[in-house]
Amino acid sequence: MSSPQAKLAFLSVIALSLAAYTPALAQDPGHLPNVMILATGGTIAGSGANSTTTVGYTAAKVGVDALIDAVPEIKKVANVKGEQVFQIACESMTNDHWLKLAKRVNALLAQSDVDGIVITHGTDTLEETAYFLDLTVKSNKPVVMVGAMRPATAISADGPINIYNAVLLAGSKDAVGKGVMIAMNDEISAARDVTKTNTSLTSTFRTSELGLLGYMQDNAPHFYRQSLRKHTTESEFDVSNLDKLPDVDIIYGYANINPIALDAFVAHGDKGIVFASVGDGSVGAGIKPSLIETRKKGVIVVRSSRVGNGIVARNGEANDDELDFVVSDTLNSQKARILLMLALTKTTDTKAIQKMFYTY
């Protein structure tokens, strides 16, 4: 191999062989993991008027079989089966949907012929469903939530690569015991800490300060971090016999705040209120008397923050010991609502509930 042309030809052959080699695709088809895909709707199943429609499309149109057929590569990395659990845009997700989904996931994961689960979902409340499952799934097997920011009909739709990565992750032994994860945009995120941060970019899911868990690259997950908070098999919450969750709502903090929304929720009979307040969960003069009255009526009050990062300090901006309030730690308000609902299925003791907020 003396001539430069011969050397170049040899190197090209090596480069092409390396490019064709993908660890997961090299798996023995007889030993592929069994991954169940549960479809719930969302943009990943959305349909637009034409290929350049990336907003103003209709979510939840494409069925699970079409989603799977659109990505034939997944059949090379897993034995997949699909099930249409719901077909909704996820802004319409309810507590009842969550209970049904958690029960189905637990039933499937109890089967020896299911190694992992992928859940396709709209992105708007994806982090909430993920956290609910993180606290209620009773298995170490991987559960991976996935969505898309562009409808299935768009140029450069992100759904197919996201589904492919989600199936790889759900079938990976490295993903066992990591809690419920979100696989989007080549990133792996933890259900507890990730949030949607942009209305339309494909990079919308971020865990800005606590950090993502890892990357999906070259047909495999690459993990660098793990959430230390309890989840799945270590969680004390059991929804197997529940058909309803306690009413808990969120009120928002802002300048010139008034108590009208809070008082209406309490009059409705809410069992808990999450106050997504300003700063470190500060309690403005316009709402403080109503919050104190709310707690006196037996309703649990959780102080959280609209800021997006950081710990809400207990006995910081309010005397929580004296007012008998709970703080949300680093949970955003939509996830604090989920933990409070589950907490209320077990206790109304504020000390026990506060401990849960430091545990999960």
Residues near ligand SIN (CB under 6 A) are: 42-43, 59, 89-91, 122-124, 147, 149
Cα radius of gyration rounded to whole Å, the chain = 23
Q: What minimum distance in Å lies between the beta carbon of 163 and ligand SIN?
A: 13
Report the SS3 class of residue 234: helix
Q: What minimum distance in Å lies between the beta carbon of 175 and ligand SIN?
A: 23
- Are residues 204 and 149 in contact, defined by beta-carbon separation less than 8 angstroms? yes
> Alpha helices of 126-281 — where are they, by DSSP H?
126-136, 159-170, 260-268
Rounded Cα gap, residues 36 and 2, in angstroms? 54
Per-residue tokens: 2: 């003396």
* Residue placing its CB nearer to ligand SIN in the complex, 229 or 335: 335
Single-letter amino acid, residue 337? R
Rounded Cα gap, residues 3 and 10, in angstroms? 11
Length of the chain: 360
Query: In a 10 Å sphere around its CB, with 0-12 CB exposed, 13-18 middle and 19+ buried, how is residue 48 labelled?
Result: buried
Rounded Cα gap, residues 350 and 14, in angstroms? 64
Q: What minimum distance in Å lies between the beta carbon of 88 and ligand SIN?
A: 7
Report the SS3 class of residue 128: helix
Q: What minimum distance in Å lies between the beta carbon of 153 and ligand SIN?
A: 14
Rounded Cα gap, residues 128 and 270, in angstroms? 19
* Element holding 99 (H helix, E strand): helix 95-109
- Are residues 236 and 226 in contact, defined by beta-carbon separation less than 8 angstroms? no
Q: What minimum distance in Å lies between the beta carbon of 196 and ligand SIN?
A: 8
Active site residue 43: yes
Q: State the catalytic residue, choosing from 43, 120, 136, 202.
A: 43
Positions annotated as catalytic residues are 43
